[in-house]
Amino acid sequence: MKNTSGVWPFLQEWSIYEYLNTRFSESVLRIRQVVRSGQIVGKEKWVSVTTLEQIRDSQFPDVKSIKIQGETTTRPAEVKFVTSEFAYHRTDPAKYRDFAASRGFILVLAHDHLPRGLVGADVDVYELEKPDFETWCRANFARLFSRQIGSRAQAKIWIMYQGPNFNKGSPSVKPARLSHRWCPTENLSGFDLAPGDRILFVRTSGASTQLVQKAYMNGEVLVGWTLDEILVAGVSSRIYSRNEYCQRKKLSNDTQFWRQDPKQSAGQWRWDRVFEFRPIAALNQRIPMETLNGRGRPTEFVEAVTQSFCWQKSRELDPATYTRTLERLLATLP
């Protein structure tokens, strides 16, 4: 099991293995099914694990044999932090075929969405009991827990750039500003962005990404580049795969969410993840970006906006920077 997405960077891979082995030996290990044959489970319930072969290595699949309450045979399982990290159907298709033929399932700390290539496939996903895992981490890895799990106790603050789909729609498709529906950039997972987080959707004008990027690489902020708007929003849903979102909203998989939303193949759209947000406030005062700098160097806020604009990635702001930025911007209002 490899943690490839940057999720929980201080958590060692063997921690979940040890948790499974320990809790099973204590006869208290239970899991719940969240995806059955590629479809989300409407009514989830916890079931006990009655058989578990001790996990001794990280070779796929991690769990060679596991039996769940109510089933008569054992199955293999692959352990991941989140479902979207599973990639063996692409990286090792031969082993994955054997895994699927043995009714193998994905066992995760938290389900976010099925990865590309498995949407609609006959695959099962089970979740661990996350609160119990956290309790176990507290007892066994206090320092690790305080650095990583504990940091999620307060809302995170993100910078995201308003792309064309945010403000432009069509007669049949609302822009994200009105639909309150957005697709996270590829660097975010369900562990990064969660309900209650804040997003600063920013819009700028006056310069191309190439010019801004060149100035940024030289440690400068381009003169003439202007901050036009910050829309402060609250995250109101978790991140879903497009397929699961449509299931929950009772929408057709052919529903177009954004104006620039190319359909690559049957049931496969370019933007395949979605979350919802609610607008809180908007600051529309045009402000030259260079005036938001520190003494001769870009501030953390300017750096985050620049990176989001140039590389189309979401960037996190610490709460102190967020407060200082808003106070400074509000001071510019007439």
Q: What is the CB neighbour count within 10 angstroms for residue 183? A: 21
The highest-confidence range among 14-28, 99-113, 173-187, 302-316, by mean pLDDT, is 99-113
Top-ranked range on mean pLDDT: pick from 137-141, 154-158, 177-181: 177-181
What does the domain layout of the chain look like in residue ranges? Answer: 14-150, 154-330
**Orientation angle between helical segments 300-311 and 209-217, nearest 10 degrees:** 130
H-only helix segments in the chain:
14-25, 88-91, 93-101, 130-140, 142-147, 164-167, 176-179, 209-217, 242-249, 300-311, 319-330
Mean pLDDT of 158-169: 93
| pLDDT one-digit tens code per residue, 235-248 | 999 899 888 999 98
Q: Which of 49, 48, 74, 55 is nearest to 15 (CA)?
A: 55
Query: What is the band of 69 on the pLDDT scale with cuts at 50, 70, 90?
Result: very high
What is the CATH architecture of 154-330? Roll (3.10)
Tell me: pLDDT of 298 over 90: no
Mean pLDDT of all residues belonging to the chain: 85
**pLDDT score of 297:** 63
Between 295 and 290, the more confident residue is 290
- Average pLDDT rounded to a whole number, residues 309-321: 87
**C-alpha–C-alpha distance, residues 3 and 80, integer Å:** 7
Winning range, highest mean pLDDT, from 103-107, 169-173, 260-264, 306-310:
103-107
Lowest average pLDDT, out of 69-73, 211-215, 234-238, 325-329, goes to 325-329
- Rounded to whole angstroms, the Cα distance separating 88 from 202 reads 37
**DSSP conformational letter for 29:** -
Is residue 159's pLDDT more than 90? yes
pLDDT tens-digit series, residues 5-19: 333 433 455 678 888
Mean predicted confidence (pLDDT) in 137-159 = 59
CA gap 5, 77 in Å, rounded: 20
Highest mean pLDDT among 103-107, 146-150, 303-307: 103-107
Residue 322: which pLDDT band, with cuts at 50, 70 and 90? Answer: confident
pLDDT of residue 64: 94
| Other CB atoms within 10 A of residue 298 CB | 20
